[in-house]
A and B are shown apart, each in its own frame.
Chain A
């Protein structure tokens, strides 16, 4: 009998595909580690699929945790391994003599330690697609758990020991020139493409996919990340980021949501009521096979997973780490793009802000201008977009920034994310003659105002100022549940109020900075 050992969804997928293609007629059991809860949760479905003769749980999470704790308490690695293997032997849910072949995916958790320690020959799958040739990457990842890192080094896990008879890895995905005598080509993508319809159906049902997604509309895909799980942001913010993505980038498309395998808490069925939400415990490699046609857009926050979709989508959108805070300012970026289109000043915009967000949004809005990433010290273009976040506190306090900015002959649009009012140095009130605020108002479904943001347009050209005054537009954000109304105001009472608010905010901000600086100086003295 063959034994497959798997941990994550990707690992299970490898085992499933290997069983179907290589060991189809052989008896096999799937041993699932309880370290990864997602795997354990669908035990019954895995059993019912009939792909394996049996699916059993190996309760090794406690052993793994105990080993980690021992390592942290400076117990020698050899002792940790012995103890773990001893404990594991007691809980093995199968008889060793029944097993003829072992396929481990992966071999760097307690079961793998046990196999290597007991000098049992086994086949090993690479940890992730193309990871075999990137040992450094793997090892650096493992350093988060130093005990495991030391064990891996000592035992030669990840296929680097004498008991591995074969390493199953995607040859094409390895680094150029990488050679390994034990490597056998095992391409998940390739195997999936080669499967016939009935085998594909088996795989789909194994992972809980009920039917293929078909739609007459254009299809778009959101690949989520588990930010709340990692403590990067609360769950409601995590939901908001994808709501905003859907509202600003996936207009007029049928949305498909593929939650990250660890994004268990995300409640996308509630948020995207008309969307198809795929099971989180489904490997993303299956996506091209369960979606009827090519995707028009695939979007992720900052996960490169979206890139693995390759030719399966027309447009891939992926930001960098800045999106984790900039997504809350997306309305300002949208307003700027609409305003630039309206002002029609030039065809190139210098951007000293989150240029990725700006460009992608401009592309979604089919804006007719090109984006030029510029340095904060070189804002000489005809039209510049400036973010508060591009400047540090010191630059703002010593006023150098305001003077430098306003030397330009062109037009500047201030995103004003932190209400820093960069155009005002606290003294030169003449600047207000060249400034127009553009107000972004948010109303809820009942038309009740919920929030307000202000961006500012600065220009020496009176026509541009006049055009800015007449600018207005609106956008309904279906998934976010708010309506955005954008208006500028002319020289009337409202403007006066808004300008004075700006002056006051800037003055207060400056005062605060002075006070902070003074306190710091006092403390240093």
Chain B
């Protein structure tokens, strides 16, 4: 009886654990609120409620724990390009508006001039590094607050100068004031760039021969602001009016009154700025017409990832917001996908590759086709002095070329995985490119028209295993061609880094074996992947990680393990990430020789209908890298983008199947790569068939 009770208790506990482990929503929900000192009945009731809630609402599954899913207000633009929502008045409209005004006034910061951060305070991070002062950002904010408070108590105005702020900073940290102020000025000068939309508006005003002034509530000295404007190409201002020179602000309307005093009350004024109060309401109060230019970051941040490190995150958001929300240009959704999501991954990964190869003194970098296409293009621009090669490689080529060692891969990929397709032996042999195997198969009773099934699978495999030599002979020429190709590509180097996107590093593992063991090319190889996860065997390359032969940028068993857990392969996170690095060329199949002994290459059916999209994605990614590196050219450490940041940005979209369904619904997917099939599926059908909710 006692034993039975114990057994029931144990069983109930097992059931409870099984239910709790169903997903994290239930697990954490239960242990947070349900596992207190409550009666068994109440505990049971609570668990049932959680299970019921989970059942009712798909949002209560593990995917809730993707950061952006918790923030429902943050979503990518799914239906139309984000830049198309940035409806700004056209230049022609503004020109007409300017026509009837005598003085055109511009706000400066976040209107004429942008900074590559979504929050201007992020500049203080860079100052912290220059001043070698941890916590500088916080001190600088506090010092400004103090200075403004004191100014208000003394003069009844919050207007302060940079010097006032730095004098207050001494309360927190003893810095050389002159030096520290100089750092802030030079950093602001370094980072400021012209808002491309406002530049055009400004040129329109210049073209109309109007009086043009810039008015700003700012603590920086006016000569520094003048320099900034000049650097950004705004050199035809009649006047630059800065609040700290006059001790009054736009917000209080007094600065506008000053302006009117200077130029005349009877003139017609128009002011353009981004602040709803100081640039819009206060200007109107002062009898000045306004054009409200909503802040690019206020408009864009609802579409940006936030689960990132503060510095890189702010820079990423600032740059993307400036590009997509300024109103200067409208882009295609594919370009925006490349710019917004792929760009940071490409930049971060390239920088990681560079650091890895230099730290390990590797002589050459091989970028594997096709994911390496965009990576190599960007890498060469970033690090032109490094030796790189784009090399043709693919899973199907690797499977055939490494058949002497990893024959099970061949059997799995070309036979076992084809069982559901109900293919005939003849077709399979054609896809495998080993027609010579027909004789032994026929001898074993498998004619060409026999359909592959799970029943005859093991028998067919046995025939293949008994005739390994025939298979090996079939791929001998291809193997020799590949050897020649890679010998040329390696060019005698003794160490090389092989770059792939992921996920099990099979491409690298196959090449490593061939280069080091089978071909003996005298080159030690190292592999890099963007992320490492393999559904069937999580530890597939664990020893290689341990041996420092492979490293992963974003996540693996060893780094960012929580990201790896979030990376939901069944929800096609991997496939969606691969779209970011896709290339406008067909999949590689294999090598051979022509009649002159030259290496030839064969490719699978080109997915031409996707090339236009891919080219736009690549252009977007390249432009992001160009913009980011240009903005931070004097701060090279900004290029050290943590893998978790790159992933946070990717996750923003890869966790949104609807985004891909809408945008890439027609994106061609060849599910029969390596079988020369011309039947092309689409991503939409793939999501419908393979996405596991």
Residues of chain A touching chain B, judged by Cβ–Cβ distance below 8 Å, are 37-38, 40-41, 226, 228-229, 235, 264-267, 269-270, 508, 511-512, 515
Contact = CB atoms under 8 A, between A and B. Distances in A.
Interface in B73-101: 90-92, 95-97, 99-100
Interface string B198-226: 00100110011000000000000000000
Contact of A508 (B91, B92, B95, B611): B611
Contacts of B606: 508, 511
B91 A270 contact: no
Given A508-B606, A508-B611, A515-B609, A38 B91 contact: no
A515 B95 CA distance: 46
A41 B92 CA distance: 15
B276 interface: no
A270 B92 contact: no
Determine chain A's interface SS by DSSP, over half rule: helix
A229 B207 CA distance: 16
A265 B99 contact: no
A265 B100 contact: no
A286 B200 CA distance: 31
Contacts of B100: 37, 40-41
Contact of A38 (B99, B207, B608, B611): B99
Contacts of A41: 99-100
Contact of B204 (A226, A267, A512): A267
A18 to B, nearest CB: 26
The 6 closest A-B pairs by CB, nearest first: A41-B99, A265-B95, A265-B92, A264-B95, A229-B92, A508-B608
A15 B609 CA distance: 61
With most chain B CB atoms within 10 A of its CB, the pick from A38, A265, A512, A515 is A265
A269 B208 CA distance: 10
A512 B609 contact: yes
Contacts of A267: 203-204, 207
Contacts of B204: 265, 267
Nearest to A508: B608
B96 A37 contact: yes
Contacts of B96: 37, 264
A226 B204 CA distance: 14
Contacts of A270: 203, 207
A440 B242 CA distance: 51
Contact of A235 (B91, B97, B99): B91
B200 A512 contact: no
15 contacts: A37-B96, A37-B99, A228-B90, A228-B91, A228-B92, A235-B200, A264-B99, A265-B91, A265-B204, A266-B207, A267-B204, A267-B207, A270-B203, A508-B608, A515-B609
A518 to B, nearest CB: 10
B54 to A, nearest CB: 39
Contacts of A515: 608-609, 680
Nearest to B680: A515
Nearest to A41: B99
B601 to A, nearest CB: 13
B603 to A, nearest CB: 11
Contacts, number: 45
B33 to A, nearest CB: 52
Interface in B149-204: 200, 203-204
B332 to A, nearest CB: 15
Contacts of B611: 508
B207 A512 contact: no
Contacts of B608: 508, 511-512, 515
Interface in B587-638: 606, 608-609, 611
B112 to A, nearest CB: 18
Nearest to B605: A511
Contacts of B680: 515
With most chain A CB atoms within 10 A of its CB, the pick from B95, B204, B207 is B95
Nearest to B612: A512
Contact of A264 (B200, B203, B208): B208
With most chain B CB atoms within 10 A of its CB, the pick from A264, A508, A511 is A264
Contacts of A265: 91-92, 95, 204, 207
Contacts of B90: 228
Contacts of B203: 267, 270
A223 to B, nearest CB: 18
Nearest to A227: B92
Contacts of B91: 228, 235, 265
A234 to B, nearest CB: 9
Interface in B1-25: none
Contacts of A512: 608-609
A264 B611 CA distance: 40
Nearest to B330: A234
Nearest to B208: A264
Given A40-B100, A41-B99, A508-B611, A269 B92 contact: no
A515 B611 CA distance: 13
Contacts of A264: 92, 95-96, 99, 208
A511 B680 CA distance: 12
Contacts of A37: 96-97, 99-100
Contacts of A38: 99
A7 B90 CA distance: 24
A166 B96 CA distance: 34
B32 to A, nearest CB: 51
Interface string B97-108: 101100000000
A225 to B, nearest CB: 12
A226 B95 CA distance: 12
A41 B268 CA distance: 11
A111 to B, nearest CB: 19
Nearest to B96: A37
Contacts of A229: 92
B236 to A, nearest CB: 11
A511 B612 CA distance: 13
A511 B90 CA distance: 39
Interface string B656-688: 000000000000000000000000100000000
Contacts of B99: 37-38, 40-41, 264
Contacts of B200: 235
A367 to B, nearest CB: 37
Interface string B30-73: 00000000000000000000000000000000000000000000
Contacts of A226: 92
Contact of B207 (A228, A269, A508): A269
A266 B95 CA distance: 9
A433 to B, nearest CB: 21
A508 B97 CA distance: 48
B664 to A, nearest CB: 15
B84 to A, nearest CB: 14
A267 B209 CA distance: 11
B205 to A, nearest CB: 11
B531 to A, nearest CB: 31
Nearest to A281: B99
Nearest to B98: A264
Given A264-B99, A508-B608, A511-B608, 8 more contacts: A228-B92, A264-B92, A265-B91, A265-B92, A270-B203, A511-B606, A512-B609, A515-B608
A259 to B, nearest CB: 10
A235 B92 contact: yes
A36 to B, nearest CB: 10
Nearest to B90: A228
A227 to B, nearest CB: 10
A37 B95 CA distance: 10
Contacts of B97: 37
A64 to B, nearest CB: 16
A270 B207 CA distance: 8
A43 to B, nearest CB: 9
Interface string B277-305: 00000000000000000000000000000
A105 B673 CA distance: 73
A508 B607 CA distance: 9
Nearest to B209: A269
Contacts of A511: 606, 608-609
